[in-house]
Structures are given as structure tokens and as C-alpha cells.
């Protein structure tokens, strides 16, 4: 029995050393996050590591509209602002009514143009269109975000379990047209742009 005492003490010492080194080598959580870049930051969830996203690329209609007010087709001439909006398109709209890009069909002193706004800024596309549609008063329409809240049930009804949905939103002549594409199938909903009420679905 006396021969085993030194062995037992040696094993206990080794165990204590292992436990102490584990405690010392693991820095506090706030210190670890402080030393990481946003792209490298992770959060612990259910015992595993999950990458934290840096934010969505989707843009709200309100942000795009605000930037449109400040946009100048001719930067050298501060007085050349947008005079009217005739067409609005949201590309790849999410369930909150935000889009990966917004396109505005506008007129200004230099003519007409399609202005596309995304995270990279503005792109101007010449648009030689006869303005047969009525002018859009962006202050009087239901915003896409409000439209999605009001019609959430019908917009998100019966999603395909296998094919993700893509949503594109158009506004012209007082009517919102939402095209929902899943695989090779399209579902089209129309709404009154002033009230947000559903008009048709097909």
C-alpha cells in the first residue's frame, strides 16, 4: 500500500496541473470577441459554433426613396433633381418588403431614365419611354414593407418545400404587381397601391 502512495500523489498532481492549464488557456468570452474581426466572430449555440452574419444586403424602400430624393443626374448642376416617378420595381424582395435592388423609372430635366439602386450605389440606364403611365406620388402609396405586413398571409401562403421562392414587385398606374416564382411556376398577386388591398391572385 505504501508503494502506491507516491503513484497516487503523482496522478493527483498531474490531474490538478491539467485542470489548471485548461482554465488558464481559455480567455474570457469578451476578450476573445474583442480580438476578432466582425467576419471572424462566432457565437456559441447548442454546444457548436455558428457563424454570425454581418447583415443582409437587402435595402428598404424608404432608404432607396430617401437616396432618390438626394440623387442628381447631373452632379455639376445641383438644380437637376428628379421631377417625377412613373415606375418602381423591387428585385428579389424578402418577406419584410426589402429588395436587393430598387429601380425607378423617372423623368428629369435631361429626359427619362431608369435608376437602379443597390448596395453599390446608383446606376443610370437610358430609358426612351413615352410616359403613358400616371405619375407615382411616393408619399401617398402604401410602402412595400406595409404591403407585406398587411398581406402577409396571402403572400406567404403555400410555399414550396423544395423550391425557394423569388419575389419581384412592380408598381405602375396605381397597382402593385407581386410575382412569386418557385421553380417553373409563377404566382401573381395585384394590390391597390393606395390602400394595400388585394385585387387579384392567380
Above 50 in pLDDT, residue 183? Answer: yes
- CA 22, CA 13: separation in Å to the nearest integer? 14
The CB-side HSE value for 28 (13 A sphere, CA atoms) comes to 3
Per-residue pLDDT, averaged over 81-97, amounts to: 94
Q: How far is C-alpha 97 from the geometric centre of its chain's CA atoms?
A: 9
What is the pTM assigned to this prediction? 0.69
Q: Which of 3-7, 86-90, 106-110 has the highest mean pLDDT?
A: 86-90
Query: What is the predicted pLDDT for the residue at 159?
Result: 78
Confidence of residue 22 (pLDDT cuts 50, 70, 90): very low
Percentage of residues of the chain with pLDDT beyond 70: 68
Q: Distance between terminal CA atoms of the chain? A: 87
For the chain, which residues make up each domain, given as ranges? 4-51, 61-201
pLDDT value of residue 196: 98
Least confident of 51-55, 114-118, 192-196: 51-55
**Can you say whether the dihedral through the CA atoms of 25, 29, 30, 36 is positive or negative?**
positive
How many angstroms from the chain centroid is the CA of residue 26?
Answer: 36
Do 104 and 114 form a contact (C-beta atoms < 8 A)? yes
SS3 193: coil
Angle at 193 (CA atoms; ends 191, 196), nearest 5 degrees: 60
Q: Report d(CA 87, CA 172) in Å as an integer.
A: 5
List the one residue out of 154, 147, 168 whose CA is nearest residue 99. Answer: 168
Mean pLDDT on 66-94: 87
Mean pLDDT for 186-193 is 97
Measure the CA angle with vertex 158, ends 156 and 163; round to 5°: 90
The mean pLDDT of the chain is: 77
Partner residues linked to 122 by β-bridges: 117
Q: What is the pLDDT of residue 132?
A: 63
Query: Which range in 25-39, 76-90, 183-197 is most confidently predicted, on average pLDDT?
Result: 183-197
User: pLDDT category, 72, cuts 50, 70, 90?
Assistant: confident
Amino acid at each position: 500500500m505504501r508503494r502506491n502512495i507516491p503513484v497516487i500523489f503523482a496522478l493527483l498532481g498531474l490531474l490538478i496541473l491539467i485542470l489548471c492549464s485548461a482554465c488558464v488557456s481559455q480567455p474570457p468570452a469578451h476578450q476573445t470577441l474583442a480580438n476578432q474581426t466582425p467576419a471572424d466572430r462566432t457565437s456559441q449555440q447548442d454546444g457548436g459554433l455558428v457563424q454570425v452574419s454581418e447583415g443582409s444586403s437587402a435595402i428598404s424602400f424608404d432608404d432607396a426613396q430617401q437616396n432618390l430624393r438626394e440623387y442628381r443626374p447631373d452632379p455639376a448642376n445641383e438644380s437637376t433633381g428628379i421631377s417625377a416617378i412613373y415606375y418602381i420595381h423591387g428585385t428579389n424582395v424578402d418577406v419584410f418588403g426589402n429588395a436587393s435592388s430598387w429601380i425607378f423609372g423617372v423623368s428629369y430635366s435631361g429626359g427619362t431614365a431608369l435608376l437602379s439602386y443597390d448596395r453599390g450605389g446608383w446606376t443610370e440606364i437610358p430609358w426612351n419611354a413615352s410616359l403613358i403611365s400616371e405619375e407615382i406620388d411616393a408619399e401617398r402609396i402604401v410602402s412595400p414593407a406595409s404591403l407585406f405586413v398587411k398581406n402577409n398571409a396571402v403572400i406567404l401562403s403555400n410555399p414550396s418545400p423544395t423550391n425557394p421562392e423569388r419575389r419581384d414587385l412592380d408598381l405602375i398606374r396605381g397597382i402593385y404587381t407581386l410575382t412569386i416564382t418557385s421553380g417553373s411556376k409563377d404566382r401573381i398577386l395585384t394590390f391597390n397601391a393606395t390602400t394595400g388591398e388585394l385585387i387579384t391572385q392567380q
